[in-house]
Structure 1
Amino acid sequence: MSSRPLGILGVPSSAAAHAPGLERSPAALRAAGLVRALARTGRRVVDHGDTLPARWRHDPPERSNPHDVARVAAVLQDARAGVRSVLSAGHVPVVLGGECTVALAVLAAAADLGADLGLVYVDGGQDLHLPADHPEEPIADSMGVAHLLDLPGAHDALAGLGPRRPLLAGDRLCFVGYADDEEDVHGQVPSARIPAAAVLDDPAAAARRSVAAVDAAADGFLVHLDVDVLDMFTLPLADIPQYGRGLTPAVLRELLAGLASDPRWSGIVVTEANPDRDDEHGTWMRALVELLGAALSTAR
């Protein structure tokens, strides 16, 4: 087992989300026992605290811009600096969003330090929307991967967040577990894709296929987890729920365990767990925390 500690960093932001709520997710995960659950993996756990909180606010955008884009970019630059500190300490980042744009900050911080990571994107969607294609819903939360790849029409404040553009090459990306419709409407993203049905059929095989798909990244790979990859009827926390489709907690646990057991695993981002979805006893946050602790117990 690796001796590198797990380094927790919270990014309490809903700035890029559809509405407030996700800014409370890092605190809720800690309150549900995340540090204890990760410590049971046998690794040292270091909590690096939180970046500055940012709650969703009303900021009607220009037609061509994501909602509140300057503030979203400022949040991500703050997160980038925080993740860079985690990595510089020699810790494996466990980053608690907030919303899905935080993956931009993690990959930017890794690139700052000379690491070129692949990305296994475990999510109910693909987050490939662009402002010009969706002026009716210009929410950056659904645009993160489009900006990682610097697709035509990406906003400079997000696509230019890191030390290079694009931050991620398409052959170092694998979409895993999505049940939404294909979002690559312009045919510009030839990345590997493993839909929810294939993961449900064999989560261990899906993990192996994911790692093989991003293997061009010799420096390792990051796992992005949006809890909307889960069927809302099985674990009701997703900020944007999907019902009657998606993964079960047992399948997600096996998938994540397979990813974390690979020696190239380089960290995880956990996003979109909205405390407002939980019951008054915190039942589902605890369930998510136990799932994460069990899955990461396999990490090397």
Structure 2
Amino acid sequence: MAMREAGFHERLRAAVSDYDEITDIETFRWRPDRQRPNAMNAQAVIHTASRVASSVASAASEGRFAVVLGGDCTVGIGTVAGLAQVERRLGLIYADYDTDLQTPDTTDDGALDWMGVAHMLDLANSDDALAALGSRRPLLRPSDVLLFGAGNITPAEHERIRSLQLRTIGSERVAQNPEAAAREALDWALGFDALVLHFDVDLIDFEDFPLSENLRRKQALTFDAAMTALGLLLSAPKLAALTVTEVNPDHDPGGNLERFCECLTDDMMRGRGWGLAASA
């Protein structure tokens, strides 16, 4: 809703001839779940992700580009599940400062938004119903995932990256040369029939650009580095869906949400060729 009010939809509607806005999915504010302390609010997460999956599958079946605005990172499970109903060889570029490879047994936090990639890979001890969300299980294989910009990695996640041989382009490499890092990811993506790009706004350092849900400071990327990389990633030829998560407008000191929406829509229009010959 806040992104709509900041002009996101209006800018896209002006550029794309057959733009179609799907009604908002009802919101659910995270709350402590003492019945399931290691997988809190699982039913709400599954409900929302299922609704996202249905919308994305409908768009993909018509050959339309899908944009999903979250919410926490678990909405990205829905994006992948929806596209997996239509596409067989599906790749995921997961642009996030976290890897989200935790499972209920490896975290004392209990928030499922730290666990999205683990559930798409159906790792051991995942929540059974969430891992079974899509039309296939697992939704993705380790070779289908590229972790882009990751910097906050727990010891358990390091071990999973090693054992699964997950492709990773870490935050330091992206910070040093965003263009080169993004082009490496684009080369990797050429091997798929379709691609999902997941972008968590906490990839941007909160001190540099306060907007994300997570308040980490002096970590992650500058706004300019993150948006430079994102702009190139959006030009991936087989990109079929974009998920944007963890925007918290309450953390915006003023003007950052509008600037983010302007840069994001400009990058989408350039990357996808919208306003020229293509449609979404």
State TM-score, norm by structure 2: 0.89
Q: Secondary structure at the match of 1:184?
A: helix
Q: Secondary structure at the match of 1:75?
A: helix
CA distance in 1, matches of 2:186, 2:118: 21
2:141 matched to 1:166? no
Distance 1:262 1:138, change over 3 A: same
2:100 matched to 1:124? no
Which amino acid is the alignment partner of residue 260 of structure 2? Answer: L
Q: Give the corresponding residue for 1:146.
A: 118
Gaps of 5+ in 2: 273-280
Distance 1:220 1:122, change over 3 A: same
CA distance in 1, matches of 2:179, 2:10: 26
Select the residue among 230, 238, 246 that pairs with 1:256: 230
Matched ranges for 1:45-56 at <5 A: 45-56=19-30
2:247 matched to 1:247? no
- Are the aligned partners of 1:261 and 1:298 in contact in 2 as well (CA < 8 Å)? yes
Q: Give the corresponding residue for 1:156.
A: 128
- Are the aligned partners of 1:257 and 1:297 in contact in 2 as well (CA < 8 Å)? no
Q: Secondary structure at the match of 1:147?
A: helix
- Are the aligned partners of 1:172 and 1:216 in contact in 2 as well (CA < 8 Å)? no
Q: Which deviates the most, 283-292 or 42-51?
A: 42-51
- What whole-Å deviation, never above 9, does each CA across 1:174-196 have from its counterpart, x for those lacking one? 11112213523344331111111
Select the residue among 203, 206, 222 that pairs with 2:181: 206
Matched ranges for 1:32-111 at <5 A: 32-39=6-13, 44-62=18-36, 65-111=38-84
CA distance in 1, matches of 2:197, 2:91: 9
Q: Secondary structure at the match of 1:165?
A: coil
Q: Give the corresponding residue for 2:277.
A: none
CA-CA distance at 1:199 after TM superposition: 0.9
- Are the aligned partners of 1:171 and 1:216 in contact in 2 as well (CA < 8 Å)? no
**Structure 1 runs (4+) greater than 6 angstroms displaced:** none
Q: Percent identity?
A: 32
Number of aligned residues? 269
Q: Give the corresponding residue for 2:191.
A: 216
Gaps of 5+ in 1: 1-26
State TM-score, norm by structure 1: 0.84
Q: Give the corresponding residue for 1:24.
A: none
Instruction: Write 1 or 2 for the structure with the bigger share of helix.
Output: 2
- Are the aligned partners of 2:150 and 2:171 in contact in 1 as well (CA < 8 Å)? yes
CA distance in 1, matches of 2:129, 2:189: 26
Q: Give the corresponding residue for 1:193.
A: 168
Q: Give the corresponding residue for 1:228.
A: 202
- Are the aligned partners of 1:60 and 1:68 in contact in 2 as well (CA < 8 Å)? no
CA-CA distance at 1:228 after TM superposition: 0.4
CA distance in 2, matches of 1:224, 1:127: 12
CA distance in 1, matches of 2:239, 2:268: 10
CA distance in 2, matches of 1:189, 1:237: 32
CA-CA distance at 1:42 after TM superposition: 5.6
CA distance in 2, matches of 1:188, 1:102: 26
- Over aligned residue pairs, what C-alpha RMSD do you find? 1.8
CA-CA distance at 1:262 after TM superposition: 2.2
CA distance in 1, matches of 2:5, 2:199: 19
- Are the aligned partners of 1:221 and 1:267 in contact in 2 as well (CA < 8 Å)? yes
